[in-house]
Amino acid sequence: MKKANVHEIKEFTVEKFVKKTLFDSDKLVTDIYCFRPGQILDVHQHPHSDQAFYVIEGTGVLTVGTEKVDIGPGDSFLAPAAVEHSILNSGGDVLTVFQVTTPKL
């Protein structure tokens, strides 16, 4: 069995947001994204993979397609395959987001 503790693995840098992989299998990958204030996951899309996200701590703005919403602890959201999406830490504290991608990229 594999086990990971998000609070022990998370890492923040001044230069850009940090992606830390928790689990990686043949069918999916799970990561945490660690953002300092003002950092962004640039707009992008995955042609054949859905991504589900869960906000662990902090606040930000999520864009999926043409929709923008404020996000905070406990919020979850889906970026369907082939739909552009991005995440911005718009708050004054760190933002930590858990994500699952399937099928694996």
Domain harbouring 33, CATH code: 2.60.120.10
What pLDDT sits at residue 1? 92
Comparing C-alpha atoms, which of 25, 47, 44 is closest to residue 100? 25
For the segment 56-65, the average pLDDT, to the nearest whole number, is 97
Domain assignment of residue 1, yes or no = no
- Asked whether residue 76 is domain-assigned, the answer is yes
Question: Do 11 and 34 touch, CB atoms closer than 8 A?
Answer: yes
Domain that holds residue 74: 6-102
User: Which residue's structure tokens are 């404020």?
Assistant: 70
Give the pLDDT confidence of 25-59 residue by residue, as tens digits: 999 999 999 999 999 999 999 999 999 999 999 99
Number of domains in the chain: 1
Q: Is 62 inside a domain boundary?
A: yes
Confidence check: pLDDT of 105 > 90: no
pLDDT at 23: 96
pLDDT in tens, 66-88: 999 999 999 999 999 999 999 99
